[in-house]
Each structure stands twice: as structure tokens, then as C-alpha cells.
Amino acid sequence: MAESFKIPSLDDAFKKLSEDPTIRSKTGVIETYYQEIEAMKSAGIPNFKIVACLNAIGIDIGIKVFESLFYRIRKRHRNKKGSTASADELRLTAGKIRSPPPGVIENPSDIRRMIREGINLEDFEGAQS
């Protein structure tokens, strides 16, 4: 009589695939170990030693590829920590922050025009002596 064999469930198969660093993308593996790599970099461990560790566990990656991938991943993580505001909201906020209060002249061409027209700039409130 033939022995029955256990067919792994799809969840088990996917879990096994996700845990195998040689199958996953390099970005995915570095993303998984982001916190650990960031801690090593903060401790002053050079990139070439981090790459050597990754190579030792079966991730074939060079120093330049690692630096590029880690830069992008770090940038993504920093953006996630920031504001959840949309790009349009950020542009509006930035515009409000940068716009001068009423009566303030920031454009040098406006100052030159006022001098040409004979307007005394010291008459304006807040003028420095």
C-alpha cells in the first residue's frame, strides 16, 4: 500500500518562501533587517562589514548595491515617520510659511523701484535705523 504524504498548506509554503533570504529580493531582505542594519550603522560598523554578514547568510550583494538600496529604504522610512499630509496640503502649508506678512518687502527689485520713485523706506513701520 502506498504511503500517504502530507501536502504543505499554501500558508506554510508562502511562509517558507518569505523566510528564505536567497529567494527574496535584495530590497526585501534589507527591508526586513532595516532596524538591525540601522543599529549597526549607528554603532559605527562600516558598510563593508554589514555586506559581509549579508553575504554570509546567502544574500549576494555588493557594497555599492547595498548602499544604494539602503539609502532608498532609509529615505522611505523617514518619509513614513513624517507627516501624513498629502503633497497638495504640504505645498499649501509651505506657501503659507514662505509668504511674507503684509507690508514686508522681500524682493530687491521692489526696493530699487521704490528708491527710484523717491519713496522713503525709513517711513515704513519696522524699518531699521
In sequence order, what are the residues at sequence separation of 6 or more whose Cβ sits closer than 8 angstroms to the Cβ of residue 121? 111, 114, 115, 127
Overall domain count for the chain: 1
Domain assignment present for residue 80? The answer is: yes
Domain assignment present for residue 65? The answer is: yes
pLDDT 10s per residue in the chain (129 long)?
A: 455 556 667 777 777 776 666 667 788 888 888 899 999 988 999 999 999 988 888 888 899 999 999 999 988 888 876 655 555 555 555 545 555 566 666 677 777 777 788 877 677 655 554
Cell of 108: 530687491
Domain assignment present for residue 84? The answer is: yes
Burial class (CB in 10 A: 0-12, 13-18, 19+), 24: middle
Domain assignment present for residue 20? The answer is: yes
